[in-house]
Structures are given as structure tokens and as C-alpha cells.
Homo-oligomer: A and B are copies of this chain.
Amino acid sequence: MFSIFLLNLQIFSMSKCEQCIIKQFNSLKSLTKDELIRISGCKTTMIIKKGTVIFDEGETINGVYCVKDGICKLSKLSENGKDQIVRIVVKGDLLGQRSLVTDESSNLQATALNDMEVCFIPKSEIMNDLQNNSKFSFDVLKDMAHDLKEADDIIVNMAQKSVRQRLAETLVYINDSFGVNPDGTLSVLLSREDFANIVGTATESAIRILSQFKKEKLISTKGKHIKIESLTGLKQVE
């Protein structure tokens, strides 16, 4: 597994964490300059191709990924064979934070949704900072609290809202959180199957409802690119 990484995906980069703008967006901003310099020395920058599994359910991660570019999904295989997406991680986020806190293996699979550039920081190097730099650990704590809140919201939506509503909200969420391309299409490009796996429905149902939204002029599509035509309309879907 690791050898594949070495062959195909890994590029050792000379770029320095201390100067990296990305860290602004996550907990790493709370590290001191000295800490960043040390981290910089042991990190591994890698390019990950679209579709690649970054880590799998049950795998021990032993570090954290700082996402410099691209987007990935965190999903979990359910017994019926479907892959439920529980979170989307984008440029600027840290991926695999949970592994710093627990020695358990990952409960989720991470898969690149487009080509990504990430820096892997070994757990051994960053654990000291988590222990000694309280500003940093408090930031990680905040992050996790935020994720937990979002997860609670998702539970409520899953339980109480229709597939139609959940799909509408997913479109709004992606629009609001990750923005749009110059042509107005959603910048996060997902397959119909991905949408189904976020919403928790059959792929056919997701396709069908997207078609309905199109007829109702709430969205327009070219290929798999989706453009929101009426944000307010989507928000009112019942």
C-alpha cells in the first residue's frame, strides 16, 4: 500500500509550512514558528489523483493530512453495500484529526473527489504540540466541536426530512460552503451517485429528483455540472 504511494502519488516538496497560506484556515495556525519549522521538516507533500482512496475504514492513520488543494469525501460502507458520505473535506481543512486523539483505526474512508495536493504530518511529530501548545489543542477541540454540531444536524435531517428536502439542502450546502465556478456551476463536482450517498437514497431517486428540480427551474445542468437557478426556491422545497 505504502509502496504504491511512493511510486505514484508522492512528491517531496520543499515548500515550507511557516510560509504556507493554507495553515491560516485550520488549527495549524496556532503553532509557533519553531513548531512549524519542525513540522515542515518531516511532512510529506503528495499529489493524490481523483478517485484515489487516501485511507480506508479500519486503517491506522498515524498522522494528519493538511489539504492544500482539492476536495475529498469521508464515507462509511453500510451493510447493504452503500457508501454513506458523512462529510466533505476541502482545501484548508485538516483530514484525519481524529487519529491524533485516538489509537483506534479509522471508522471512515477518505476518497479524493478531484486531484488533490495534501501534506501528511506524522502523528509522532505533532503529538508533542498537541500536548504542550494549548492554543493548538484548543483549536483542534473547536474543530471537533464544530464537526460534532454539524453531525447532529445531519442526524436530525436524515431522520425528519424527505429525500427531496435533503437533496435540496445538500445543493444549498455545497453552494454556500464551497462556492461556484465562474460560469455559476457548483465548484464541487459530484456524480449523481455521490449525491445519493450524501442524501442517503438510491441513485435513481437522486437522479429523478434532480430532474424534477430541473423541470421546476430550481437548477439547470450541463452534463454533471449543476447550476443553482433559484437558491430561495431550493430553500423552500418541502
Main secondary structure, interface of A, reads helix
Residues of chain B lying within 8 A (CB to CB) of residue A192 = none
Does A140 sit within 8 A of B, measured CB to CB? yes
How many chain copies? 2
Contact B78 A148 (CB under 8 A): no
Give the A interface residue count (CB, 8 A): 41
Contact B158 A200 (CB under 8 A): yes
Contacts A134-B137, A159-B78, A159-B200; A145 near B84 (Cβ below 8 A): no
Interface string of A140-155 (1 = CB under 8 A from B): 1110111111011111
- Distance A160 CA – B80 CA, assembled complex (angstroms): 7
Contact A84 B148 (CB under 8 A): no
- Distance A86 CA – B82 CA, assembled complex (angstroms): 23
Least CB distance from A162 to B in Å reads 10
Contact A101 B142 (CB under 8 A): yes
Contact B145 A82 (CB under 8 A): no
